[in-house]
């Protein structure tokens, strides 16, 4: 019931997500959160969709579970976090979206009762109608933690937002990912790459050439467009037991 009421308030924008079987799934979106474990995750995994939603009038927030404290060799956690916060701020400026920091530490993410409550409180306060986060089967521990925290919040909040999973460097990090929704990002892919290039400490040119551009092309081939991002839509049934 809560979900139906919530969607009734947000039924203004039509975003076209489509299945590979070509049936069009129309989803409404006024506010979307993209929750990643590290400063470059939302933009690399779903930046084209983030920009597209923003251009369509949706309020888009890039949420970072950690500040990438362990992501720059030779730098302390504090130094790396400061640098990577600036990189993300620049990327968000390119995409035209707002950033939000959860405050966990890169490489030391926790999944416990306090962290579940924290993620639930953040999402509850933002009141999104769509949330994207990591697919849970991933070689990176922080990605798995992020996915579990968001999934738990979605359950505890009575499924009041649509939940989608994105992929991160599939084959190296994300595994067993079989998408059921695609977004054509042909019109936004160049801006997405500009945002990724803001993460100067993360070898962005290599990351684009080796991983992100091939993935965009592969998903584009599957969806019969130049470049696409792919997602898994979380299903549920009203008889679920929430614990």
Binding site for Zn ion (CB under 5 A): 37-38, 41
Q: Could you tell me the smallest distance in angstroms from the CB atom of residue 144 to Zn ion?
A: 11
When CB distances to Zn ion are compared, the closest residue is 38
Residue 182 contacts residue 152 (beta carbons within 8 Å): no
Q: Could you tell me the smallest distance in angstroms from the CB atom of residue 38 to Zn ion?
A: 4
Which of 198, 216, 177 has its CA nearest to residue 94?
198
Nearer to Zn ion, 134 or 219 (CB): 134
Residue tagged 């949706």 (tokens): 58
Q: Could you tell me the smallest distance in angstroms from the CB atom of residue 96 to Zn ion?
A: 22
Q: Could you tell me the smallest distance in angstroms from the CB atom of residue 157 to Zn ion?
A: 24
Which of 172, 183, 204 has its CA nearest to residue 39?
204
Nearer to Zn ion, 61 or 160 (CB): 61
| CA 43 – CA 91 distance, rounded (Å) | 8
Nearer to Zn ion, 38 or 159 (CB): 38
How many helices (H) does the chain have, and how many strands (E)?
Answer: 8, 9
Q: Could you tell me the smallest distance in angstroms from the CB atom of residue 9 to Zn ion?
A: 33
Nearer to Zn ion, 65 or 95 (CB): 65
Residue 50 contacts residue 97 (beta carbons within 8 Å): yes
Nearer to Zn ion, 38 or 199 (CB): 38
| CA 68 – CA 113 distance, rounded (Å) | 23
| CA 78 – CA 124 distance, rounded (Å) | 29
């Amino acid at each position: 019931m809560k979900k139906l009421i919530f969607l009734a308030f947000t039924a203004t924008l039509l975003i076209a997500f489509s299945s590979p079987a070509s049936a069009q799934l129309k989803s409404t979106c006024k506010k979307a959160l993209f929750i990643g474990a590290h400063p470059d995750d939302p933009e690399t995994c779903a930046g084209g969709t983030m920009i597209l939603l923003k251009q369509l009038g949706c309020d888009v927030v890039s949420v970072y579970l950690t500040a990438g404290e362990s992501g720059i060799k030779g730098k302390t956690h504090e130094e790396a976090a400061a640098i990577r916060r600036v990189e993300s701020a620049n990327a968000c400026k390119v995409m035209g979206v707002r950033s939000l920091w959860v405050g966990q530490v890169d490489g030391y993410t926790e999944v416990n009762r306090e962290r579940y409550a924290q993620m639930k409180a953040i999402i509850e306060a933002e009141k999104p109608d769509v949330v994207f986060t990591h697919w849970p089967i991933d070689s990176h521990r922080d990605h798995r933690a992020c996915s579990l925290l968001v999934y738990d919040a979605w359950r505890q909040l009575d499924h009041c937002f649509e939940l989608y999973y994105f992929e991160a460097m599939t084959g190296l990090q994300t595994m067993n990912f079989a998408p059921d929704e695609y977004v054509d990002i042909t019109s936004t892919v160049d801006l997405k790459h500009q945002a990724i290039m803001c993460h100067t400490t993360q070898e962005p040119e290599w990351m684009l050439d080796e991983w992100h551009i091939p993935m965009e092309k592969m998903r584009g081939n599957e969806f019969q467009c130049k470049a696409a991002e792919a997602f898994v839509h979380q299903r549920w049934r009203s008889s679920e037991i929430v614990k």
